[in-house]
Structure formats: C-alpha cells, structure tokens
Structure 1
Amino acid sequence: MEPILVIKCGGSTMEQLPVAFFTALAQMQQAGKQIVIVHGGGPAINQALAQMQIQPQFVDGMRVTDEQTLQVVEMVLCGSINKQLVRRIQTAGGRAWGLSGVDGGLITAQQTSLPLGLVGEIERVDPAAIHAVLDQGCIPVIAPLGVSADGTQAYNINADVAAGAVAAVLSAEKLLMITDVAGIMRPQANGELAVESQVSPSDIAEWTEAGIIYGGMIPKVQSALDALHQGVREVVICQGTAEAVRAACTGEPVGTSIQAEYGGVAQ
C-alpha cells in the first residue's frame, strides 16, 4: 500500500492557503499519493459566534464548549470550512470527500476532565471510513469532532490532537502540520529567529521549559510527540505552500522535522 501523508490545516491558515497548495495536492493525488486532511476552524467559529452574539470563552488558550457553542462548532467545521476545503481541492483537479469524526464512529471520545465543557479526549480512532474514502480515489477531509461510545453526545476535539491520532492509527509515513509560521523558531547568536530544520523530542522538552516553544505551538509539538510515540515516522511543521506539499511527498527537507530519537540520536 502507498504510504499515507496526513496533513493538518490550521483554522488560522485556511484563508491564506494559495491555489498552488491545492494544485500540488491534486497533482500528488493523481500521481498515486494517499493523502488525508484534518482541519481546524477557530477564527471562523469565533466569527460565527460573534454574529450570533455568543461570547467565546477560553481557559489557558483552549475553547470552552457549551451546548450552544457546540452547535456553532458543528455548523462551521462540518459545514462551511469542510466544504470549502473540498471545493478548493476539486477545483484544483483533485477529488475529495468531506466527513467528520462523528461519521462512521471515526473518532470516539469522552468528555475531558478539564473545565472546558463539551470538549472531548480521544478514546479510539476507527479508520474504516477513511480507508473507504481513500478506496474511492478521494482525499478524506476530516472535521475534528468526536462522538461518545453510545453515540449520544458529540464533542469538540482539538484539531492538532485529532490529526496526530488519525496519523497514528493510519501508521502514516508523515504528519504535515500546516501553520502560519515556517516552523519551530529558535533565537540565534545574533538575536534573530531562525527555523530549526530538525528537532528531537528532548529538544522540544528543553525548549518548552525555556519558553522558546510557547502558545499555540505547544499543542502542536505535543500532538507531534504523541503521533511519534504511536508509530508515525516523522512530523513536519511548516507553512502551507505548494513546495511544502511536494517536499513532504518526496522526502525533501521543509520546515521543522520532528523524529523519534534512539540512543539520543534523531533517526
């Protein structure tokens, strides 16, 4: 079977993704590459909440999701954002199929113990629906929602966490995390920031403790570590460009590569 590439598209980058990015996806798909997309949608959710005069709430940067907010999350993630991505892939010449973690019991979750309301922690990912879509020659485009084991309750899931779990269950060759920065930035001797081309789990622990990795990058690197621990060979954090997609598919360096380490050496 052709190795699978999982791509996580952040909500803050969605509008900035160029036509060339989707053209590259379509070309890679046509060349036989198996691609799976997991997407976020935070800014669009905030916009929809504002239009409905619902005040968003956050705890430590994570969205608090009550019943009313969950309805908006479902509407935006499974509706406008998901279908926008499907349309852009198909306009570029590819084939795509939108679904969510609720469909086919793809992502089973339980409510987090954190004070975040209807936010889910993933218990299980069933890849059957993903494989069915891939077998139809389409790119699965997955909205990060989960459902309780009895099917009665939907949950909002962090897109980085969902992408890592999906990549792990698919034994993906690579997880490409698209963000609005070129990769993990580290201060240089001259005081300027530069992208680190390759980091190890121990680097991430050290740099998080030192505050070099902070804010929204923390859940990304944590999800990357979780994915590596569960068997994903490599996680790449980079910007959404056509060059990034092609490089990820061909094994060329791009952004920041995170790989597991053995004996203290990144492999």
Structure 2
Amino acid sequence: MDEIAVIKCGGSIIDNLSDRFFDNIKQLQQNGIQPIVVHGGGPAIQDMLGKLDIPFSFIDGLRTTSAEAMDVVEMVLAGHVNNAITRKMNTAGVQAAGFSGSDANLMTGAPKDLPTYGYVGDVSGINVPFLLQILDQGIVPVIAPIAAGKNGDRYNINADSAAGAIAQAINAEKLIFVTDVPGIITEEGLLPSATEAEIEELIAKRVIHGGMIPKVKAALACLNEDLPTVMIADANQAINQAGFTGTAIKRSEEAV
C-alpha cells in the first residue's frame, strides 16, 4: 500500500485555503501518497452559536457543548465545512468524499467529562477497515471530527486529537498540521526541525507564542514510535517531491 498522510486543517484557515492547497493534495496522490484530510471549524461554529444565541463557555481551553450546541456543531462541521472542502477538492480534480465520524462508526468516542464539558469527547476507536476501503478506491476521505457514542449520542472531538488518533490507528507515515504560517519562525528564519526540549525552550523564550503553542503541543502529543515526526506547514505553499515542507516536530532521539 502507498504511504498514508493525515492532513489536519485548522478551522481558522478553512476559508483561506487557496487553489494551491487542493493542487497539493493532487500532487501528493501523484507522488504515491494517500491523503486523509481532517478539518476543524471552530470560528464558524462560534459564529453560528452567536447568531442563534446559544450560550457556551470555555473551560480549560475547551468549548463546552450542550445538547443544543452539539446540533450546531454537527450542522456546521458536517453540513457546511465538510461539504465546502469536499466540493473544492472535486473541482480541483481530486476524487474526495466527505464523512462525519458518525458515518460507519468511522470514529467512536466517549464523553471527556459530561457534567463539566457537555458533549465534548475523546476518541475511543477508529474504523480502520472502512478507511482503508475508501483509500483503496483512490478516494480522499474528508473527515469532520464528530464521534459516535453509545445510544446514538454524538461527541465534539478536538480536530488535532482526531487527526492524531486516525494517524496512529491507521499507521500513517505522515501527520501534517497545515496552517497559515510556514512553520516555526525564529530570528534565523524557518526552523526546519525541533525536538520536544527545543520547543519547550522556544516557548519559554516566547519565540513560540500565541496560536502556535497549541499547534506544537498537539504535534508533540501525537509522536510515538510509529509516528516519529509531525510536520507543521503552510497549507497554501507549493510542495516538492517529498511533500509539504515546514517545521518537523521530532522525538528527541529522532532529531538530527
């Protein structure tokens, strides 16, 4: 089987994905890499919750999700964002199909802490055979991070966590967090690679700050023996034969 690359698109860049990004997906396929796209949609969810006057709050950085808010999360992620990305991919000549984690129990989950966070969940399982069937047909799955729970419940899953869980379950060779910057930037320019210790030092020195902190921490959380490197890259840059270039987050023993 070809290499598998899980590509996570943050909600903040969904509206700004250029034609270049979709051409990149096509290029990855031509390079013998099978992409899986996982997307967020936080800004669009927040906007819709505001329009519908549905209250929410943030606890420990997580948006609480009531049953009423969960309907909005599903509507925005599965109904709007997922369709928009899938449609653009097909327009670009990439055969893509959109899925919620609820489809075919693609992603199952359990509540993180129902009394505290509501319907915010942790991934408990991935339907790997189903995903492999889709990939075998040359189709790019575009996945909204909603997990199916017991008794028909649904859970709102952090997109970074969902991408990491899928990459680990399917033994992906690549996990790429695409964003609106080319990677970690220092005074010397783009940092080609960094270990956990180096990242902690850069955070302490405030070289890494703001929205980049959760990105690098999510990348670090995904590292394991089977996935020793996670890339943070610009979604809209041209790729080369090896794929996206950016900052490679590595386990200490893997750093060069």
TM-score (norm 2): 0.90
Q: What secondary structure does 2:181 align onto?
A: coil
Q: Does 1:254 align with 2:218?
A: no
Aligned to 1:165: 165
Matched residue, 1:52: 52
- Which residues of structure 2 form unaligned runs of 5+? none
Unaligned runs of 5+ in 1: none
Deviation of 1:194 after TM superposition, in Å, equals 3.9
- Residue matched to 1:136: 137
TM-aligned CA distance change 1:4 to 1:218, over 3 Å: same
**Displacement of 1:44:** 1.1
- Post-superposition Cα deviations, 1:235-258, rounded to whole Å, max 9, x if no partner, equal 111211241xx23xx336722111
Query: Would you say the 8 A contact 1:99–1:141 is kept in 2?
Result: yes
The superposition leaves residues 28-72 of structure 1 with CA deviations (integer Å, 9 ceiling, x where unpaired) of 324542110000011111121122122342223321111111100
TM-score (norm 1): 0.87
Spell out, residue by residue over 1:78-106, the C-alpha distance to the aligned partner (whole angstroms, 9 max, x if none). 11100101100000011001112122222
Q: 1:25: how far off?
A: 1.3
Matched residues in 2 for 1:8 and 1:226: separation?
14
Correspondence for 1:238 among 200, 224, 233: 233
- Structure 1 residue aligned with 2:181: 181
Distance 1:151 1:219, change over 3 A: farther
AA at the equivalent of 1:206: E
CA contact (8 A) 2:3 2:32 kept: no
Q: How does 1:64-213 map to 2 (within 5 A)?
A: 64-113=64-113, 115-148=116-149, 150-186=150-186, 188=187, 194-209=189-204, 211-213=206-208
1:216 CA drift (Å): 3.6
Backbone CA RMSD of aligned residues: 2.2
Counterparts of 1:175 and 1:207 in 2: how far apart (Å)?
22
**Which amino acid in structure 1 is aligned with residue 166 of structure 2?**
V
Aligned to 1:29: 29
- The letter of the residue matching 2:216 is V
Amino-acid identity (%): 40
- Structure 1 residues 201-226: Cα deviation after superposition (integer angstroms, max 9, x where no partner): 22223334555444443432233223
In structure 2, relative to structure 1, the CA distance for the partners of 1:94 and 1:104 (3 Å cut) is same
Superimposed CA distance per residue, residues 9-40 of structure 1 (whole angstroms, 9 cap, x where no aligned partner): 11100111111211221243245421100000
Distance of 2:179 and 2:244 partners within structure 1: 16
Q: What is the total number of aligned residue pairs between the two structures?
A: 255
Change (3 A) 1:134 1:10: same
- For the structure 1 residues 254 and 31, does the alpha-carbon distance in structure 2 shift closer, same or farther, using more than 3 Å as the test? closer
